[in-house]
Amino acid sequence: MPGPLSGYKVLSFCRALSGPFTTMLLCDLGAEVIKIEDPKGGDRTRFVTPQINDVSTYFLSVNRGKKSITLNLKDERAKKIVFDLVTKVDVLVENFRPGVMARLGFDYETIRKHNPKIIYTSISGFGQTGPYAKKPAYDMLAQGMGGIVSITGPEDPKAPPVRVGASIGDTTASFFGAMSTLAALLEREKTGEGQMIDVAMLDSQVALCENAIARYFATGAIPRPAGSRHPLVAPFQIFPTKDDYLVVIASNDDLWKNFCTAADKPEWVSDARYGNREGRLAHHAQLEKDMNTVMRSKTSAQWTKLFEAHKVMCGPVNNIEQVTKDPQVNARNMFYEVDHPKAGKHKLVGTPMKFSRTTCETKKAAPELGADNQEVLSSVLGLSEEEIETLRKEKVI
Amino acid sequence: MPGPLSGYKVLSFCRALSGPFTTMLLCDLGAEVIKIEDPKGGDRTRFVTPQINDVSTYFLSVNRGKKSITLNLKDERAKKIVFDLVTKVDVLVENFRPGVMARLGFDYETIRKHNPKIIYTSISGFGQTGPYAKKPAYDMLAQGMGGIVSITGPEDPKAPPVRVGASIGDTTASFFGAMSTLAALLEREKTGEGQMIDVAMLDSQVALCENAIARYFATGAIPRPAGSRHPLVAPFQIFPTKDDYLVVIASNDDLWKNFCTAADKPEWVSDARYGNREGRLAHHAQLEKDMNTVMRSKTSAQWTKLFEAHKVMCGPVNNIEQVTKDPQVNARNMFYEVDHPKAGKHKLVGTPMKFSRTTCETKKAAPELGADNQEVLSSVLGLSEEEIETLRKEKVI
């Protein structure tokens, strides 16, 4: 079975990460994604290192399974091709700075004249409206301005702020972009009407911090970074062992009793500070010190065995290599191999969206620049060999 | 206009975060979400602190706009109500540990007999298959095992690992859960068939780390935490100023020249180490030291003014209070107020999914336990007052 979005076509004016990750999600779900790139080099992430045989792994990962066509969008003939393509697709996704699509003549009002049923999804740093609308944004700006940095990192107030190590400033907006696009397609099934979607990276960061913001609204206390500790329950964090680190979850009273037995600390069950949930949270700093001492007495393997026997939840802090070798992750088929004309065979991360009836995996590599010019222009738009050759010679494509 | 999912009904067997956040996303999009809770206290997050008039802010935030009905799922009469409800809804979402729904008699094979068109979405820690399937998971386990912790935090290899400050171990699975549910609903429009979806928190963490994993596959080098620094470009990070911190993005050569002018460091433009993109990345450690010195010479306000004049991208590291006061975030209506019978008027975080035609905001507060028993049982299932009263007396609801 093909993916659930099989038959849906997406036209992508996306570069870098927030837009391409959105169309990657739609592509993973089975949609046909046609990526429009500038004939002079294309998406700049094609040049990001590291590379395999001069092909960027960044580009290979986020653009797997898509088609690439080149269009010089300032040329009138390219504009006509865009308008023709717009009539053939269900969705348009773009992540230019607000205003750029209008300057190119591709604003929503113009596009909908060519296809009133189209879902037109704009992903931007700050959104299409508001005082910062025209400002450019990058992942780190969204992470910094949206609050996640202010609650991530070491507990020490003097420690410099840290970033979330994956570009969630971009990809959180991609999740909201893909979800809202799917919801609009579903609504179109009932009404027959398209619409425009306006997703901002900054709004998406704010949405991600809902719990911290709700706490602030209720108490007026400003949440702070808490190391590896959960702000609301304890112990629910990472502890050092004799040889490594281990995540330990013993935050409810039953788990806590189990932990005390496993750690041979029966006195902590009736300890006034640690005996109940509220106490452990109130005394988390001392609890952390005491548990660090205990946890350092055995290796991670020893603790894991003990915790399994005593039904305490624990798990390793895996590095990226360990993640790729994890038996569960592999049993779930989270890695797959594709072949690329230049990069050759290479492994990619699969999708977590597992369907019982419609499969959901992209089995093609990312495209070379303009790899699908011929196919898209001839089979989708019906252009002749000669017409395509002329466009090529005159650098329209 | 109502939200795009207006008219869709979702039956939720969800507790804690990964499941409730999934149905929150669907509810924000306009779906009617009926949350089933145990009559004895309900979802345990109802007891998480901080609270407003004894109502948990955690619960209020994630369950806004939903309906609550109570059912003692071990009672045969409650099971019959579930099967009756299943025939009335489009989607079922559950986040029990794999096996629990089957023990209750609500596995997918049984449920589909009552409604073959249903989309049955399971969110779990490790997925329904594989060697860890039956293990319980919590946010911190997924974060630790999925790789994000290993690339987040201070660059110092001796620094203890830190958590991402929001519970993305849960909510990333929620994004994939909501997306796959929407895609399956869309596919059902064509085929008329339902299906089961199996989303794991661990898989979702792996998907979030795609870039780090692609780099590891290509080079064999294991990505590490890099403070606030982007692993692939520089400078693209947070720097200390005289009075605070500031995100500075000057990673391409044009932006770098602008930065050097703004910072009165013209010699850095032609510096062999810093003059081009590759050099700045290779010498990022020295670059960071040099830039720290320069950046500490002025306040954030002074730098912001200079950078605006010289077209260098910068932005603050906002704490949660500053986020709630940010003019852009407020212009985007990211906060709204609802009223709750006990908690009273309180503010919530809105949705980043902004549609041109179908609005998309939940305007109701989270429900009190069983608040919608009467309405759902009478208007959806057609039970009489007497029947409902009997169920209540006999503790079925």
> Which ipTM was obtained for this model?
0.98
Buried b (16+ CB within 10 A) or exposed e, B272-308: eebbebeebbebbeebbebbeebbeebebeebbebbe
Mean pLDDT score of chain A, rounded to an integer? 96
A184: phi then psi, degrees, rounded to nearest 5? -70, -35
Q: At what angle do helices A201-208 and A168-191 cross, to 10 degrees?
A: 100
The residues with which B259 forms a beta bridge, in sequence order, are: none
pLDDT tens over chain B, length 397 residues: 689 999 999 999 999 999 999 999 999 999 999 999 999 999 999 999 999 999 999 999 999 999 999 999 999 999 999 999 999 999 999 999 999 999 999 999 999 999 999 999 999 999 999 999 999 999 999 999 999 999 999 999 999 999 999 999 999 999 999 999 999 999 999 999 999 999 999 999 999 999 999 999 999 999 999 999 999 999 999 999 999 999 999 999 999 999 999 999 999 999 999 999 999 999 999 999 999 999 999 999 999 999 999 999 999 999 999 999 999 999 999 999 999 999 999 999 999 999 999 986 667 999 999 999 999 999 999 999 999 999 999 999 9
State which of A316, A342, A360 marks the end of a domain: A316
Are B370 and B253 contained in the same domain?
no
List C-alpha distances in Å: B49 to A215, A232, B52, B143.
9, 7, 9, 23
Which helix (H) or strand (E) is A37 found in, with range?
Answer: strand A32-37
Residue B111's CB: how many other CB atoms inside 10 A? 22
State which of B289, B316, B343 marks the end of a domain: B316
Nearest to B146 by CA among B73, B203, B70: B203
Burial of residue A280 (CB within 10 Å: 0-12, 13-18, 19+) is buried
The total number of residues shown for chain A amounts to 397
Query: Does residue B104 lie within any of the structural domains?
Result: yes
Query: Where are any strands of DSSP class E within chain B?
Result: 9-13, 32-37, 51-52, 55-56, 67-70, 91-94, 119-124, 195-200, 236-240, 245-249, 313-316, 335-340, 344-349, 354-355
DSSP B153: S
Concatenate the DSSP letters of all residues of A188-215 into one string: HHHH---EEEEEEHHHHHHHHTHHHHHH
Q: Does A253 touch chain B (CB under 8 A)?
A: no
Query: Does residue B224 lie within any of the structural domains?
Result: no
Nearest to A315 by CA among B295, B181, B146: B146
Q: Which domain holds residue B294?
A: 236-240+245-316
The residues with which A313 forms a beta bridge, in sequence order, are: A249
Nearest to A28 by CA among A376, A337, A354: A354
B72: CB partners within 8 A, 6+ apart: B38, B39, B78, B395, B396, B397
Nearest to A170 by CA among A191, A193, A201: A201
Which of A349, A359, A360, A362 to mutate to test binding with chain B, by most B CBs within 10 Å of its CB?
A349
CATH code: domain of residue B276? 3.30.1540.10
Q: What's the structural domain count of chain B?
A: 2
A152 closest CB neighbour out of B3, B162, B172: B162
Q: Please answer whether residues B147 and B212 qualify as being in contact, where contact means their C-beta atoms are separated by less than 8 angstroms.
A: yes
Q: Please answer whether residues A66 and A28 qualify as being in contact, where contact means their C-beta atoms are separated by less than 8 angstroms.
A: no
Residue B266 has what pLDDT?
96
Are B255 and B184 contained in the same domain?
no
Model confidence at A2, pLDDT cuts 50, 70, 90, reads: confident
Q: Does A223 touch chain B (CB under 8 A)?
A: yes
Query: Does residue A157 lie within any of the structural domains?
Result: yes
Q: Whole-angstrom Cα distance, residue A104 to residue A111?
A: 11
| Prior bond of A327 cis (ω within 30°) | no
CATH code: domain of residue B131? 3.40.50.10540
Are B335 and B309 contained in the same domain?
no
Q: Please answer whether residues B361 and B350 qualify as being in contact, where contact means their C-beta atoms are separated by less than 8 angstroms.
A: yes
Q: Which residues of B participate in catalysis according to the annotation?
A: 170
Q: Select which of A43, A139, A170, A372 is catalytic.
A: A170
Are A182 and A40 contained in the same domain?
yes
The residues with which A236 forms a beta bridge, in sequence order, are: A249
- In the stretch 355-394 of chain B, residues with CB closer than 8 A to chain A read 355-358, 360
| Prior bond of B50 cis (ω within 30°) | yes
Are B109 and B187 contained in the same domain?
yes
Are B275 and B386 contained in the same domain?
no
pTM over 0.80, yes/no: yes
State which of A316, A344, A373 marks the end of a domain: A316
Query: Does residue A214 lie within any of the structural domains?
Result: no
A218 interaction partners in chain B (CB closer than 8 Å): 50-52, 57, 346
Residue A27 has what pLDDT?
96
Which of A52, A172, A329, A358 to mutate to test binding with chain B, by most B CBs within 10 Å of its CB?
A329
Query: Does residue B35 lie within any of the structural domains?
Result: yes
Partner-chain contact B147 A346, CB within 8 Å: no
Are A289 and A389 contained in the same domain?
no
Are B103 and B31 contained in the same domain?
yes
Concatenate the DSSP letters of all residues of A304-322 into one string: HHHHHHTT-EEEE---HHH
Q: Whole-angstrom Cα distance, residue A108 to residue A96?
A: 13
Are A201 and A276 contained in the same domain?
no
A29 interaction partners in chain B (CB closer than 8 Å): 179-180, 183
Model confidence at A363, pLDDT cuts 50, 70, 90, reads: confident
Query: Does residue A340 lie within any of the structural domains?
Result: yes
Q: Whole-angstrom Cα distance, residue B318 to residue A170?
A: 17
The residues with which B195 forms a beta bridge, in sequence order, are: B119
B208: CB partners within 8 A, 6+ apart: A166, A168, A171, B146, B148, B168, B172
- The amino acid sitting at B164 is V
Nearest to A213 by CA among B343, B349, B18, B45: B349
DSSP B264: T
Which of B332, B348, B360, B361 to mutate to test binding with chain A, by most A CBs within 10 Å of its CB?
B332
Cα-Cα-Cα-Cα torsion B358, B361, B367, B370, nearest 10 degrees, comes to: 20
Are A143 and A289 contained in the same domain?
no
Is residue A53's pLDDT more than 90?
Answer: yes
Burial of residue A121 (CB within 10 Å: 0-12, 13-18, 19+) is buried
pLDDT tens-digit readout, A119-174: 999 999 999 999 999 999 999 999 999 999 999 999 999 999 999 999 999 999 99
Are B53 and B166 contained in the same domain?
yes
Query: Does residue B2 lie within any of the structural domains?
Result: no
| Prior bond of A50 cis (ω within 30°) | yes
Helix or strand or coil: residue B93? strand
Are B75 and B110 contained in the same domain?
yes
Q: Please answer whether residues B137 and B202 qualify as being in contact, where contact means their C-beta atoms are separated by less than 8 angstroms.
A: yes
Buried b (16+ CB within 10 A) or exposed e, A289-299: ebbeebbeebe
Partner-chain contact B144 A331, CB within 8 Å: no
Query: Does residue B335 lie within any of the structural domains?
Result: yes
Partner-chain contact A146 B318, CB within 8 Å: yes
Q: Does A129 touch chain B (CB under 8 A)?
A: yes
